[in-house]
Structure 1
């Protein structure tokens, strides 16, 4: 369950540029309260992943403010932003970034290795629970190197949720899943939001976007009216 803390997102005057100062994202304002979900859609190159990475503090921004609760990301060093992500965020990227030699459960519960001793069993239990919800065998010790792309993505989602983050950011989480698996993952996302988590999902999947409280549609780095 997400941490009981104020992790409202507030974005104001956000501009991100790329090579030759090409504007990748221009977002005047965005607010998202705990317990709310935001879907981000748009064509390739619209700025969807750029926005997700910006609110995660993974990329520098040219102008504007990104604030999570009382924390302004601009006030943090690179190390400070990394600590903030570790403490408050679950991240699901388009590529799963798993440890191929480890099992599904060991990957999903990887945060237990960095947690205080008293918290490790709970993380492992939550990892097992989410794997089972998403239809991944948690009992086998088989290395994930042999798993399909869809299975690896579900393990990545389980890993993010096992930490009970206050914030969940997911980039195309259903892209490599069949319809049944996508539905199960969508249910897990909805449960996270209902339990008070702040949820942002980049997706082309209409069934995922239909579950979100709000959908932000981007084109050429700007919000489509």
Structure 2
């Protein structure tokens, strides 16, 4: 959504005027505090629900300007997650950790390539440890509980609306979006997407000609969820 202020402003207008039957969720690799900071920086509206830290935390609005982490989702992740054991096994890999503020209870984050992410998967498999390894932006690696991930978190929230993943539209541009772009009913990829998802093909995938929020609205227009006038205004 970020990258163009005019596009962000028009997306914000769409959120404010969208059909009442459309829920707006933000799924991000960032922590809740960082996600809120970035949305404020770009004058983008906060959603009812944040899915943060690469789908390892769900935060619901509990009061104006306040969010509460979902305890039920946290308990689900705890069932097969031994953070200390995972860290011990990976210590021998000589990996460079991301900054401490990127480390979360259900997310261990390193700097590294997709090839190094494959090595981590192999190492964890050898030790029979259940975890999900996500590579993104060509330089980040996140290790999560198997039950985490953006798609699993979206499905968890969707069920509360009486929906499933087939009823959801995912918009994303990097490797940590890959699971939701693959598993949601429809997917939108803006033109500024990273090469790591360039080969993604599937029914229901729309690749926008426009970048950033304009690309999101272009895809929503194709689905009949945004008026063509909105996209034209943004293009102008």
TM-score norm. by structure 2 comes to 0.31
Larger RCO, structure (CA 8 Å, separation 6 or more)? 1
Query: Which protein has the larger Cα radius of gyration, Structure 1 or Structure 2?
Result: 2
TM-score norm. by structure 1 comes to 0.32
Q: Is the helix fraction higher in 1 or 2?
A: 2
